[in-house]
């Protein structure tokens, strides 16, 4: 099952700074990479050989942060900052997911587009509605993507039609949701999703700690995105030393205190994280989802990604649709590089810009670590791959593979019909 050889032009990250490119063969054995070879690997001669000629073969893209119910209004209502945007654009749209028919319609568009995108793995926020979240999980399972999907918890600071009635009801519905879907999917897993500190009372956070422990769930949320938001958290949680501490007080900020099997936590943004917050994230192994388009659109700021990379933190990219306007992680790569250039020009002249190698690494192997051995073609990695045809981007000269890859990403080959095949865990889904 799921064993074959692809022949073509192979590009993948070995480390943050090392991109390997070669014309050769990549072997998939039982859904996992068995190696990359320049010459035909004779010991696999019995496997089917798929010759992709001059096409590019790269690892699938990982989106560490996307909101499925915001997909319908992506690219609209972009002239706001975070809190006003939540109140005027996001919450009214998310309230519609109480209606299962609307959820089915909107989530079908989302899941179809995710299937055809460059993304192979994603951490997805749903809404606070249990039914709609299960509809989304059913649809995502069919796409073949491997995803974490979270029913949002929110028991304060939103309009009546969206906020959950109480901490108890929010926790009760979360239990109900997890029990409903237990054992139902192969590729679609639950993730605990307190929306952010302003939406969750202390009582709810305490109950989520118990649920997290009972089911060993990974956790996703937002952190230090916007200055007004951080001030609001300071008022709501005067007992906390910094924003991240208000998750940590409920043991929802990485796994250091838990004698459970290891679970991952991912926090989106970290634009304004203090040194103390950064230190705790490093100690606890918290992942950062860097979402450059969202940070620009919502005027949040520019995350100090150079610092996070140099500190060897766990970091990947997120589209943050609809804060970000597109699910394209190719676009997130170019935005991450561009944002880092503005950081060095306007914030810290000593900060080096993020390189293409580093941004490609974050989009693949960096974010992929949240899912295990994912995001590279090194031996033992799960076989997630995209086959790209860049011949539609004509060029007068012969380019090397590094140039062809960079250009394919900068010129959004994923959005103009350039993805010819897509594999996840060795399954061909396009
Ligand atoms: N903080 C709390 N909710 C949200 C959301 O939906 N999007 C973003 N970007 N930040 C948030
Ligand atoms: Fe978000």
The full DSSP string for 169-231 is HHHHHHHHHHHHHTTT-SSEEE-BEE--GGG--HHHHHHHHHHHHHHT--EEEEES--HHHHH
Distance CA(334)–CA(329), nearest Å, equals 9
46 CA to centre of own chain = 36
Tell me the Ramachandran region of residue 53: left when phi exceeds 0, alpha when psi lies from -120 to 50, beta otherwise: left
Burial bucket for residue 411 (CB in 10 Å: 0-12, 13-18, 19+): middle
In the reported structure, the alpha carbon of residue 268 is separated from the centroid of ligand 2 by a whole-number distance in angstroms of 6
Element (H, E) at 232: helix 227-236
Distance CA(272)–CA(297), nearest Å, equals 16
342 Cβ contact partners less than 8 Å away, ≥ 6 residues apart: 302
CB 329 within 8 A of CB 63: yes
Q: Which residues pair with 386 in a beta bridge?
A: 58, 422
What is the pLDDT, as a whole number, of residue 255?
72
Residue 97 has a CB neighbour count (10 Å cut-off) of 24
Distance CA(389)–CA(378), nearest Å, equals 23
In the reported structure, the alpha carbon of residue 158 is separated from the centroid of ligand 1 by a whole-number distance in angstroms of 12
Residue corresponding to tokens 């050989």: 49
Per residue of the chain (430 residues), give pLDDT as tens. Answer: 699 999 999 999 999 999 999 999 999 999 999 999 999 999 999 999 999 999 999 999 999 999 999 999 999 999 999 999 999 999 999 999 999 999 999 999 999 999 999 999 999 999 999 999 999 999 999 999 999 999 999 999 999 999 999 999 999 999 999 999 999 999 999 999 999 999 999 999 999 999 999 999 999 999 999 999 999 999 999 999 999 999 999 999 997 555 556 789 999 999 999 999 999 999 999 999 999 999 999 999 999 999 999 999 999 999 999 999 999 999 999 999 999 999 999 999 999 999 999 999 999 999 999 999 999 999 999 999 999 999 999 999 999 999 999 999 999 999 999 999 999 999 999 9
Atom 8 of ligand 1, residue of closest alpha carbon: 323
Element (H, E) at 336: helix 329-346
Q: Where do runs of H (alpha helix) occur along 71-129?
A: 82-85, 91-95, 100-116
Residue 341 has a CB neighbour count (10 Å cut-off) of 14
Residue corresponding to tokens 């994230």: 281
pTM score of the predicted model: 0.98
φ, ψ at 362 (rounded to 5°) = -60, -40
Helix (H, G, I), strand (E, B) or coil at 178: helix
Ligand at shortest distance from the CA of 195: 1
Distance CA(261)–CA(426), nearest Å, equals 27
Ligand at shortest distance from the CA of 85: 1
151: nearest Cα among 224, 88, 211: 211
DSSP state of 272: S
Helix (H, G, I), strand (E, B) or coil at 158: coil
In the reported structure, the alpha carbon of residue 15 is separated from the centroid of ligand 1 by a whole-number distance in angstroms of 31
Ligand at shortest distance from the CA of 196: 1
In the reported structure, the alpha carbon of residue 240 is separated from the centroid of ligand 2 by a whole-number distance in angstroms of 22
Q: Is the peptide bond before 209 cis (omega within 30 degrees of 0)?
A: no
Q: Which residues pair with 150 in a beta bridge?
A: 125
Helix (H, G, I), strand (E, B) or coil at 233: helix
CB 324 within 8 A of CB 293: yes
319: nearest Cα among 297, 354, 292: 292
275 Cβ contact partners less than 8 Å away, ≥ 6 residues apart: none
Ligand 1, CB cutoff 6 Å, lining residues? 67, 82, 86, 90, 195-196, 222, 225, 294, 320, 323
φ, ψ at 57 (rounded to 5°) = -120, 120
59: nearest Cα among 368, 380, 328, 289: 368
Atom 7 of ligand 1, residue of closest alpha carbon: 323
Atom 11 of ligand 1, residue of closest alpha carbon: 222
Atom 5 of ligand 1, residue of closest alpha carbon: 86
Distance CA(113)–CA(75), nearest Å, equals 15
Distance CA(54)–CA(51), nearest Å, equals 9
397 CA to centre of own chain = 36
Residue 163 has a CB neighbour count (10 Å cut-off) of 17
What is the pLDDT, as a whole number, of residue 328?
98
What is the pLDDT, as a whole number, of residue 262?
76
Q: Which domains does the chain have, with CATH numbers?
A: 4-59+377-428 (2.30.40.10), 61-371 (3.20.20.140)
């Amino acid at each position: 099952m799921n064993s074959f050889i692809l022949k073509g032009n192979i590009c993948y990250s070995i480390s943050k700074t090392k991109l390997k490119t070669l014309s050769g063969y990549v072997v998939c054995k039982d859904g996992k990479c068995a190696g990359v070879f320049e010459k035909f690997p004779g010991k696999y001669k019995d496997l089917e050989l798929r010759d992709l000629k001059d096409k590019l073969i790269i690892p699938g893209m990982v989106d560490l942060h996307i909101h499925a119910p915001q997909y319908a209004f992506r690219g609209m209502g972009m002239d706001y900052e975070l809190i006003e945007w939540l109140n005027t654009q996001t919450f009214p749209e998310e309230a519609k997911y109480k209606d299962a028919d609307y959820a089915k319609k909107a989530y079908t568009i989302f899941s179809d587009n995710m299937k055809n995108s460059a993304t192979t793995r994603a951490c997805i926020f749903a809404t606070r509605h249990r039914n709609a979240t299960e509809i989304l999980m059913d649809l995502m399972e069919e796409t073949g993507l491997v995803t974490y999907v979270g029913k949002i918890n929110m028991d304060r600071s939103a309009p009546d039609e969206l906020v959950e009635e109480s901490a108890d009801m929010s926790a009760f519905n979360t239990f109900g949701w997890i029990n409903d879907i237990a054992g139902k999917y192969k590729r679609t897993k639950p993730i605990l999703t307190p929306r952010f500190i302003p939406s969750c009372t202390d009582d709810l956070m305490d109950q989520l700690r118990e649920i997290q422990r009972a089911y060993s769930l990974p956790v996703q949320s937002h952190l230090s995105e916007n200055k007004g938001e951080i001030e609001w958290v300071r008022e709501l949680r005067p007992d906390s030393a910094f924003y991240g501490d208000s998750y940590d007080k409920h043991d929802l900020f990485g796994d250091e205190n838990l004698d459970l099997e290891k679970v991952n936590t991912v926090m989106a943004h970290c634009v304004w994280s203090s040194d103390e917050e950064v230190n705790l994230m490093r100690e606890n192994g918290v992942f950062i989802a860097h979402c450059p388009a969202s940070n620009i659109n919502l005027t949040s700021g520019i995350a100090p990604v150079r610092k996070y990379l140099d500190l060897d933190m766990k970091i990947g990219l997120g589209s943050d649709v609809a804060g970000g306007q597109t699910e394209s992680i190719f676009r997130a790569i170019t935005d991450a590089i561009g944002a880092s250039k503005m950081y060095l020009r306007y914030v810290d002249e000593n900060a080096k810009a993020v390189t293409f190698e580093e941004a490609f690494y974050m989009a693949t192997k960096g974010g992929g670590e949240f899912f295990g051995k994912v995001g590279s073609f090194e031996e033992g990695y799960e076989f997630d791959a995209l086959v790209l045809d860049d011949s539609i981007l004509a060029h007068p000269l012969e380019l090397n593979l590094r140039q062809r890859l960079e250009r394919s990403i900068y010129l959004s080959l994923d959005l103009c019909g350039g993805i010819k095949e897509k594999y996840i865990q060795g399954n061909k889904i396009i």
